[in-house]
């Protein structure tokens, strides 16, 4: 399959690693396994999405106390999700 075809100058798709997301706190990319997803529900509330598959707008954060604290202080999740993050969300993020 495509054996005789030389590698040409055409690069069909830009390399986009699968499962790489950006932490909203430190803006570094990481695999989904090291991040926790938060999702904005249709009613506007933000909740932790442990399945990583809940529908809605999502944001990612390292499972790291420094990033969690950073996101909380900078309101990075609020800005990313355009929603209010309730106080009850934060304890659920701690590793
Ligand atoms: Zn981070």
pLDDT at 32: 87
Distance (Å, whole) CA 93 – CA 79:
18
Domains of the chain by residue range? 20-93
Overall pTM > 0.85: no
Distance (Å, whole) CA 54 – CA 41:
9
88 CA → ligand 1 middle, Å: 20
38 CA → ligand 1 middle, Å: 13
Q: Are 75 and 19 within 8 A, CB to CB?
A: no
Architecture of the 20-93 domain: 2-Layer Sandwich (3.30)
30 CA → ligand 1 middle, Å: 8
pLDDT tens by residue, 12-43: 777 766 789 999 999 999 998 899 999 999 99
42 CA → ligand 1 middle, Å: 26
Distance (Å, whole) CA 37 – CA 71:
13
18 CA → ligand 1 middle, Å: 18
């Amino acid at each position: 399959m495509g054996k005789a075809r030389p590698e040409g100058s055409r690069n069909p798709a830009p390399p986009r690693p699968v499962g790489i997301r950006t932490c909203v706190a430190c803006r570094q990319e990481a695999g989904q396994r090291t991040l926790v997803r938060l999702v904005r529900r249709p009613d506007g509330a933000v909740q932790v999405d442990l399945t990583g598959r809940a529908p809605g707008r999502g944001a990612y954060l390292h499972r790291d106390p420094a990033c969690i604290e950073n996101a909380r202080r900078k309101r990075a999740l609020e800005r990313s999700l355009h929603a209010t993050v309730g106080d009850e969300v934060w304890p659920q993020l701690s590793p």
